[in-house]
Amino acid sequence: MTVYIVTGWPRSGTSLAVQTIRDCGIEALVKPQQVQARGGYRHQPQDYFEPPSGWLLSAAKVRRSHGKVGKLLAPNVERLPAGERIDYRIVVMVRDPQEIIRSHHAAFGSISRFSPAEASRLVGRLSGRPDVASVTVVDFRELVTDTGRAIARLIGDGWPLDPARAGEAVDETWWRHRVAP
When mean pLDDT is compared over 43-52, 66-75, 111-120, 164-173, the highest value belongs to 66-75
Q: What pLDDT does residue 35 have? A: 43
Q: 64 or 43: whose pLDDT is higher?
A: 64
The predicted structure's pLDDT at residue 173: 60
Residues 32, 10: Cα–Cα separation, whole Å:
21
What are 105-130's pLDDT values in tens digits? 877 777 777 788 888 999 999 999 99
Q: Is residue 179 part of a domain?
A: no
Mean pLDDT value across residues 147-173: 86
Task: State the pLDDT confidence band at 36, using cuts at 50, 70 and 90.
Answer: very low
DSSP letters of 101-134? HHHHHHHHSS-----HHHHHHHHHHHHT-TTEEE
The Cβ of residue 164 has, within 10 Å, a number of other Cβ atoms equal to: 11
Characterize 77-88 residue by residue with b for buried, 16 or more Cβ atoms within 10 angstroms of its Cβ, and e for exposed. beebbeeeebeb
As a residue count, the chain comes to: 181
Any domain includes 181: no
Mean pLDDT of 42-68: 77
Question: What average pLDDT score do residues 33-55 get?
Answer: 58
Question: DSSP label at 161?
Answer: -
Instruction: Please check whether residue 171 is in contact with residue 143, taking contact to mean a CB–CB distance below 8 angstroms.
Output: no
Number of domains the chain contains? 1
**Which structural domain, as residue segments, surrounds residue 83?**
2-174
For the segment 136-157, the average pLDDT, to the nearest whole number, is 93
Assign residue 58 the CATH number of its domain. Answer: 3.40.50
Task: Name the CA dihedral angle for 22, 26, 31, 36, rounded to a multiple of 10 degrees.
Answer: -10
User: Greater confidence, 76 or 172?
Assistant: 76
Q: What is the pTM of this model?
A: 0.86
114 domain-assigned = yes
The least confident of 27-41, 58-72, 87-101 is 27-41
For residue 134, the cross-strand partners are 89
The reply to whether 100 falls in a domain is yes
Q: Is residue 180 part of a domain?
A: no
Any domain includes 34: yes
Answer whether residue 26 is part of any domain: yes
Percent of the chain topping pLDDT 70: 82
13 within a domain of the structure (yes/no): yes
